[in-house]
Amino acid sequence: MLNYFYRKLSLLFFITFGVTVFVFSLNFLFPTDVLSNMSGIPNIGEEDYAALAEQYYLNNSVIIQYFAFIGRIWQGDWGVSFITGTSIYSQVFRVLPATIELAIYALLYSFIVAIPLGILASSETYPWLDKSILALSIIGFSMPIFWLALLLILVFSIGLGWFPTSGRLSLIYNIPSSSGFLLFDIIRSNVDYKVEAFFDALRHLALPTFVLAAYPTTVLIRTTRQSMKDVMNTSYVKAAKAKGLTSGQLLRRHGLRNGLLPVIQMLGMHFGTVITLAMVTEVIFAWPGVGSWLVDAIHQRDYPAIQGGLLVISGMVFIATILFDLLYMIFDPIARIRGHGKI
């Protein structure tokens, strides 16, 4: 168990190395001046240049520059934005919780919806149910989410007026930010309009969560359906059935545990896609997350910000992948003995 954890951590180390090398090399690849990219100061005058070059070890070899870069990242000195001139580190970590919040709720939602539907679809007693669930999932699978998002806004926000079109919270509520996760912040705050603010936040969450969850839900439905079909056909489930277990016991003790293993794996694999989709969703719903922030940075050619966003998003994906792997290992005893260096 510990050994496995250590193996995963060492994998994380090497991936981090690769990503930091890539991000570091972007300093040289972006069209503006190297020193500007590193420091975030757009036009450096002649007099400051030498001092800054000294500070960023620009006169030393690339390797020393790289380690200096790592040191700066470690200390939280990620440079300043070309546009606003504020620290990128504080900007990124201010917008990151919104994205994490959205992604977690979307995954949770898709998990809660997709697993029962997948199990229902896998049952051989109701073939019509299987067909209709599959058809639904095909529709969800093939519909581009920006279009789905616009349709939903058109119907539920503009047409029916049930949900707000954009943002995280109505402007009339002022919630002091402590953790950045809005729902927790609201619960922990001491304002009078706590309940109203909470429900307002939920109403703001509803559409983006649904849009973002559409893709993982359909993938999970199909994975769950297939793997439950496979598991319920294995000899051990049939043998357990012959022992006299009821259908519920069968599902709980043997079916789910084995059937959900590929689902956990799938969830881990698709986390990266979900983050990409989250960026699209954030832009459409004006959700103040790292995705829309990064898209803005790209539009404005804000190179230091692009580097910071890249670092944070890739780090998030790795950590999520490794977390899902650990989860997988907890459920599958065979995974614990598998060989080294497997992602």
The least distance separating another protein from the CB of residue 236, rounded to whole angstroms, comes to 5
Cβ atoms within 10 A of the Cβ of 319, count?
12
In the complex, what is the shortest distance from the CB of residue 241 to another protein, in angstroms, rounded to a whole number? 7
Chain positions contacting another protein, by CB under 8 A = 124, 233-245, 249, 253-254, 257-258, 261, 331-334, 337
To the nearest whole angstrom, how small is the minimum distance from the Cβ of residue 232 to another protein? Answer: 9
Q: Cα(68)–Cα(294) distance, rounded to whole angstroms? A: 25
Tokens encoding 274: 């979900």
Q: How far is the CB of 245 from another protein (least distance, A)?
A: 7
Toward another protein, which CB reaches closer, 13 or 128? Answer: 128
C-beta of 87 vs 249, nearer to another protein: 249
Nearer to another protein, 61 or 235 (CB): 235
SS3 track for 66-125: HHHHHHHHHHCCCCECCCCCCEHHHHHHHHHHHHHHHHHHHHHHHHHHHHHHHHHHHCCC
The angle that helices 261-285 and 303-331 make with each other, rounded to 10 degrees, is 150
Instruction: Tell me the CA end-to-end span of the chain in Å, nearest whole number.
Output: 16
User: Residue 99 and residue 110: Cα distance in Å, rounded?
Assistant: 16
131 or 253, CB closer to another protein?
Answer: 253
110 in Cβ contact with 118 (< 8 Å)? no
For the bound state, the minimum distance from the C-beta of residue 168 to another protein, rounded and expressed in Å, comes to 40
Nearest to another protein of 164, 259 (CB atom):
259
Q: How far is the CB of 210 from another protein (least distance, A)?
A: 33
The torsion defined by the Cα of 173, 195, 275 and 144, in degrees rounded to 10, comes to: -90
127/176 with CB nearer another protein? 127
